[in-house]
Amino acid sequence: MLAADVCKQRGDFLCEVAFTSTTPGVTALFGRSGCGKTTTVHMIAGLLRPDRGHIRIDDTVLFDAARGINVPAEERGIGYVFQDSRLFPHLSVRDNLRYGERRARRRPRNLKFTDVVELLGLAALLARRPAGLSGGERQRVAIGRALLAQPRLLLLDEPLASLDGARRGELLPYLEGLRDHFRLPMVYVSHQFEEVLRLAGHVVVMENGRVADQGDVVAVSHSPALRAIVGTESLGAVVEGVAGGADAASGLQEIQVGDGLLLVEAEDLRPGQRMRVQLLARDLILSINAPVGLSVRNSLAGVITRLEADGPKAWLVCTDIGGPRLMVRVTDDARAALALAVGQRVWVLVKAVSLRGHVFSGPASG
């Protein structure tokens, strides 16, 4: 268990944060720039002393203002990966990694050099220096160096923020492998919900130095606090399902979600693997009749559980599809024309090409 309840005043900015999350697993601190995410991880790492509160990892107290406990940063056993890799430019990749090993001191060496090199794909880079690496390669080396210090917790402070979209896409699978292979507790800072969707089990939504909401990714995807940050275009429910194999006609992967099936584009899936899919409210179509003769492959039957105004001319229609819940954005005219009401049976339609599935092997969301 990672538990933090801390407060820090920095000039006019007050950061007051409390959350708990299970370990191992990935906890995401999500919010706009300047909301206090980095201040929070600096307090966890011991780089910034809180004004009050406590921080604990499992049975180890790292900070407790009331008891006068403040473990120095170098003794906390926490690895930190910054936005910029901060590698030693005069050292080779191998020597940067070995530096991480030396920082392990007397801690048990559970993470082996060869395993870290293999998982992060660093074997071909060992003789090179940071100046000859791409941004994504440098971040992989920085992650490897932090891992070889044998941390009890890994903090990643927007490690993909300096990379373009293509490089972010290349690095995310390595982070997923890190989560699944080593099962190391991680706190992942980001303002990109796509990264949170793929990596995290628990999400702490931050706004103006405080926790606006927190919980598992599926629940938080419906949060008004999250909606206020991501905006209408990126608003969508996250659902979890189980891979069932490839559809013979289309080659798309079948994912059992609630009482229905989704066909999604995903590679190298095995039947039984858990999947996460985000269905953006803007991409979904609502029908009050069972669909017939349409090109849309995905049709999920459900019941309307809530209608909520989303601005002056739109509504969010929350629909239960047999456990999982979806959000569909419709115009006010469409709501009136279809006479939508709570308890009404509807069908949610979504194009398969607008979906991407991500394997997720962490704890199941509630």
What is the model's pLDDT at position 363? Answer: 55
Where do we find the tokens 């891979």?
243
Each domain of the chain, given as residue ranges in start order, spans 2-230, 236-359
Sequential pLDDT tens for the chain (366 residues): 899 999 999 999 999 999 999 888 899 999 999 999 999 999 999 999 999 999 999 999 999 999 999 999 999 999 999 988 899 999 999 999 999 998 887 777 788 999 999 999 999 999 999 999 999 999 999 999 999 999 999 999 999 988 888 888 888 888 988 888 888 899 999 998 989 999 999 999 999 999 999 999 999 999 999 999 998 888 899 999 998 888 877 778 889 999 888 888 777 778 888 888 889 998 999 999 998 888 787 899 999 999 999 888 999 999 999 999 999 999 999 999 999 999 999 999 988 766 767 777 655 555
- Name the DSSP letter for residue 249: T
Buried-exposed string 29-46: b where 16+ CB fall within 10 A, e elsewhere: bbbeeebbbbbbbbbbbb
Quick one: fold of 236-359?
OB fold (Dihydrolipoamide Acetyltransferase, E2P) (2.40.50)
What is the model's pLDDT at position 13? Answer: 96
Domains 2-230 and 236-359 share a fold: no
Intra-chain end-to-end CA distance of the chain, in Å = 17
Burial class (CB in 10 A: 0-12, 13-18, 19+), 339: exposed
93-102 and 135-148 are packed helices; what angle lies between their axes, rounded to 10 degrees? 30
The residue type found at 327 is: M
What is the model's pLDDT at position 353? Answer: 67
- Strand partners of residue 156: 81, 188
What is the model's pLDDT at position 180? Answer: 86
The residue among 87, 18, 8, 37 whose CA lies nearest residue 196 is 37
Considering the entire predicted model, what is its pTM?
0.90
Alpha carbons 32 and 248: distance in angstroms, whole number: 43
- Strand partners of residue 189: 29, 157
The residue among 207, 248, 121, 346 whose CA lies nearest residue 327 is 346
What is the model's pLDDT at position 169? Answer: 85
**The total number of residues written for the chain in this structure:** 366
What is the model's pLDDT at position 359? Answer: 78
CB 346 within 8 A of CB 304: yes
| Pairing state between β 186-190 and 153-157 | parallel
What is the model's pLDDT at position 188? Answer: 97
Does domain 2-230 match CATH 3.40.50.300? yes
